[in-house]
Structure formats: structure tokens, C-alpha cells
Structure 1
Amino acid sequence: MTALIKSYKTNQLFFILIKLSIVIASFAFIYFKIAGLEKITYTDFFNIISSKNILSIQNILVLLVLTCLNWSLETLKWQSLVHPIKKIDFKAALAQSLGSLTASLFTPNRIGEYGAKALYFQPNLRKSILLINFLSNLLQLSITICLGGVGLSYLWLNFNQLALDYNNLLVYALFIIVILITLFVILNNSKYTIAGLSIPKLKQRISSYPKRLLTKGLLYSFCRYLIFSFQFYFSLQLFQVNINYFDAMSVIMSMYLIVSVLPSIFIFDVVIKGSVSVYLFSFLDVNELSVLCITTLMWLLNFVFPSLIGSYFVLSFKPVKSAAL
């Protein structure tokens, strides 16, 4: 009996150390990212937003409200999509969304989010949770691709100076074709598995998922997209960037499309978004420093701030055992 108690205490201590390690690693990544920005220092950033009176209480409130709406919609989407597997309340969905965000900071394309969310559920439900998380991200990506395609088309038709390297474009096109052919072969080969499910079973699970919930999830994804794209446009106005609304939105939509398909580690997300934004906004003659400041502000509001809140949920996380059904 004494040995069992010691073993239990050892496991508990080990689990606490893991949670602390995740939070400390997340904070370290954020700190070194902030300290290591090359094109803009945080001294420049705060000097600029102070000089333009961006940090007024009214502006801060509007930006924070938009951030809260963004993550509230993501939480509602997750709560809705997971409902057929297990009914959870908004607080639990928020803990899972923000906790998994924090835990996936240093993983490529936030892949760690899949495993982190699955840990909140019983082992027998985890394969289904992985699939639902995939569907959730796929819905958001679908909205990004559709609206991003509209934005790129608008830029192509209205800005003749939009320069494209056709050699690189051909290479990218061939790369995409190879990827699509590979996916087609995989999806038609029953030997491969995803999340422990064979391809036929995966197709069956997706096709049997309630269409009403998929439609609802798509609507949440669309509303989220409207929120964070408007937040970017609102930030442009705060930095006194006076450009046509449709021109600005076409660049914003194009930017989100491009960065969504680029592989990256989350902590470098601001660098990639900054580079793409500077390139695209250069066609509208927008000052590079203003674009970098806005991209940094968006990163702080929509990723760093929620990640800091998510660290609380990581520390308070308790493992779910198979007996808790």
C-alpha cells in the first residue's frame, strides 16, 4: 500500500513537472521571439503606437473585444462540433481551446493541438476527437481559401504591377500537383490510416457526421474570419493608413491565404505574416514599418494574449482516466 502511494505521488509530481515545462517553454518561446525581432524592435513598436495614440482606452477596448469575439467563436465552434461525442459546456470548451493553443506553441503548424485536445477526453473517445479537430481546422481553412482566392483575384485584376516570378510559380504549381496526386493515391488505398482509422472508415465517419453541425461550424469559421480580418483593417485605420476598404481587404484576405498554406512553427508565425504583409501592402504603397507594427499587434492580441490565458488551463489540467465514463 505504501509503495502504491509513493508511486501515485511520483506520477503526480512528474505530471506537474510536465505541465510546468510546457508553460515555461511557451513563455520562453514568446520572450525570445519578442527579443529577437529583426525588422522592428519592440522599442520602435511601442514608440510608434504611443505617438499615434493607439493605446487609448477606447482603442484598446475595441481591439480586446474583437479578440474575445474571435476566440469565443472558436470556442463555440469546438463546443458544437464535439457535441455528438460528448456534451461540454462553454467553460470546458474554452479551457480545451486555449490550453491546446498554449501546448502547441512550439509545434509545426500547431500540430500539437490535436494531441492536447485529445487528452481532455477518455481514451476511447480520442480517435473521434482527433477527427473532429481535423474537421474544425478544415472548415476554417476552407473559408480562408475561398475568401483568399477572391482577394488574390481582386489584386490580380486591379494591380498590373503585381509581380510574379513565373519560374517559381511553375515550381509551386508542380509541387501542389504532386501533393494532390499523392493525396489521391493515399485516399484510395485502404492500407493507410489516419488517427488510427483506415481511409474507408475515415470517409464513412466524415460522411456520417451531422451535416447540420458542419454547416454550423462553417458559419462560426466564417464569422471568425470576418472578425480577425476586420480587426486587421481597424488596426490599419489606427495607424492612419488611408487606403480603399476593398483594396485593404483584398490584401488582408490574400495574406491569410498565403500564410495558411506555408508550413511554420507557430512562434515564427509573426515573421511569416510580417514578410507576406509587407510584400502585399507594398502594392498599395503602405509604409513597411506600419505594416510590421500592425502584424505584431495582431499576433500579440490573437495568439500571445490567449496563450497566456491558456497557460492557466494547462496548469489546472487533470488527466482523464478511462474509468471516468
Structure 2
Amino acid sequence: FFYGNIEKGYDHYVKMIVGAGFFIILLLSVMIIYSNKLRLPKKFFPAFNYQLSPVLKAELLVWSVVRYFVFVVQFYFVWLIFSPSQAFDVVFVSRLAIYFLLTSVIPMISVIEVAVRALIGIIVFHQSGMNDIQISLITTLLWLINLAFPSIAGFLIWIYFKRTQWK
């Protein structure tokens, strides 16, 4: 499809996609905040009968952006462990956005979640100059930090309180 410098063409399309993505996110954010104005048939959409205030919607949106920012920073710091020369540029951030989108949208069974996340990471980051093992280690480490360790800690706390409750 591209002739000549593939990376230059790829970067151009990534920047266009990122720009369109930011516009869509901004548009959706405004629509979500002002969704109280929408009139949906109550019998077809009973879940939409519950109304949130625009202030609460804005607060939820801010917390979602903060959460996403934390994940991006975590991913970048773990990436730097394996590849200290990685630049924090538009292409890297857009690949991260695609990675997070795919890991959120693709349904996963808990048993193979680590493998699916690693495969998504390999597919998204294959042009970054890292080998598949390094990308798999990065995604696995992030899975451990963000999902496995907190789940184990929560389970142990639950067991502790359950045990002390029975005494």
C-alpha cells in the first residue's frame, strides 16, 4: 500500500487516527455529560431511566482520564525497563491507546487472559523494535501489577476479615 518510506506514511496515518480519536472522545464526552437532554423510549431502554447529574458525569469522566493516564505512565515505565531508548511520542501513545482499547473490547476468559493480553501486545507493538518475549513480559508484568496482585491482596484481606468475624 505504501511506497517509499513506510514508517513516514505509517506515522502520518497514526497522527490522523489519533486526531480523529481525540475529536471523537471529546464529542462523546460532551454527549455523555449532556445526555439528560436526550429523550429515549423508556420501555425500550429501561437502564437509561436512571439519571446522573452533569457534575457527577464530569467527575466520572475526569476519574476515567486519570485512570487511563496512570495506565499509560505505568506501561511506559515498564517499557523503559526493557527498552530505555523508547521515546514517549504520538506513535507510542497511539499504540498504547489501541492496546488498551483491544484489551478492553476483546472478551477474555480469566485462565488465558495473560496470553491474550500478550498476543494483543505483540500484534500492536511488533513494529517497535522489541522482540515478542519482551513485549509478552511487559504485558504480563502490567497484568500482575494491575490485576493479579490487587486480586490476591483483596482475597487475603477478605479471608482475614472473614476469619476474625467467625471468632
* Change in 2 beyond 3 A, CA 1:156/1:209: same
| Matching residue of 1:204 | 49
After TM superposition, list the pairs within 5 Å mapping 1:8-47 onto structure 2: none
Pick closer, same or farther for the CA change 1:273–1:241 going to 2, 3 Å.
farther
Identity %: 27
Equivalent residue letter for 2:13:
L
TM-score, scaled relative to structure 2:
0.66
* Aligned residue number for residue 167 of structure 1: none
Deviation, structure 1 residue 313: 4.1
Structure with bigger RCO (C-alpha 8 Å, 6+ apart): 1
Structure number, greater radius of gyration: 1
Q: 1:310 to 1:211 in 2, by over 3 A?
A: same
Residue of structure 2 aligned with 1:236, choices 79, 93, 111: 79
Instruction: State the superposition RMSD in angstroms.
Output: 2.6
For 1:216 and 1:277, the matched residues in 2 are separated by 30
* Secondary structure class of the residue paired with 2:96: helix
| Partners of 1:314 and 1:267 in 2: CA distance | 22
Residue 116 (structure 2) pairs with residue 272 (structure 1): yes
Q: Which amino acid in structure 1 is aligned with residue 153 of structure 2? A: I
Matched AA of 2:101:
L
**Structure 1, unaligned stretches of length 5 or more?**
1-153, 160-186, 193-198, 318-325
**Residues 156 and 273 (structure 1 numbering): CA distance in 2 closer, same or farther, change over 3 Å?**
farther
Inter-partner Cα distance in structure 1 for 2:139 and 2:120: 10
Aligned residue identity for 2:74: Q
Shift of 1:204: 2.2
Contact 2:72 2:96 in 1 (8 A): yes
* Structure 2 unaligned spans of 5+: 1-9, 16-39, 163-167
Shift of 1:156: 7.1
The reply on whether 1:217 has 2:73 as its aligned counterpart is no
Equivalents in 2 of 1:273, 1:155: separation in Å? 24
- Equivalent positions of 1:1-325 (< 5 A) are 157-158=13-14, 190=43, 199-200=45-46, 202-205=47-50, 208-246=51-89, 247-315=91-159, 316=161
Aligned amino acid, residue 220 of structure 1: W
After TM superposition, give the deviation of residue 294 of structure 1 in Å. 0.6
Distance 2:120 2:12 in 1: 16
Distance in structure 2 (CA, Å) of the matches to 1:284 and 1:266: 28
Aligned mates of 1:237, 1:280 — CA distance in 2: 17
Give the secondary-structure state (helix, strand or coil) at the position aligned to 1:245. coil
- Cα distance in structure 2, aligned partners of 1:217 and 1:189: 24
Question: How far did residue 300 of structure 1 move?
Answer: 0.8
Cα contact 2:122–2:135 (8 A) shared by 1? yes
CA positional deviation for 1:158 = 4.6
User: Which amino acid is the alignment partner of residue 236 of structure 1?
Assistant: W
Within 2, Cα distance between the matches of 1:296 and 1:256? 14
Aligned partner of 1:143 in structure 2 is none
Distance 1:281 1:158 in 2: 13
The question of whether the paired residues in 2 share the 8 Å contact of 1:235 and 1:294 is answered with yes
Asked if 2 retains the 8 angstrom alpha-carbon contact of 1:155 and 1:251, the reply is no
The amino acid that maps onto 2:87 is: N
Letter of the aligned partner of 2:93 in structure 1? Answer: M
Residue type of the alignment partner of 2:158:
V
Count of residue pairs brought into register by the alignment = 128
Give the superposition deviation at 1:264.
1.2
Letter in 2 for 1:275: L
TM-score (norm 1): 0.36
Deviation of 1:282 after TM superposition, in Å, equals: 1.0
What is the letter of the counterpart of residue 56 of structure 2?
L
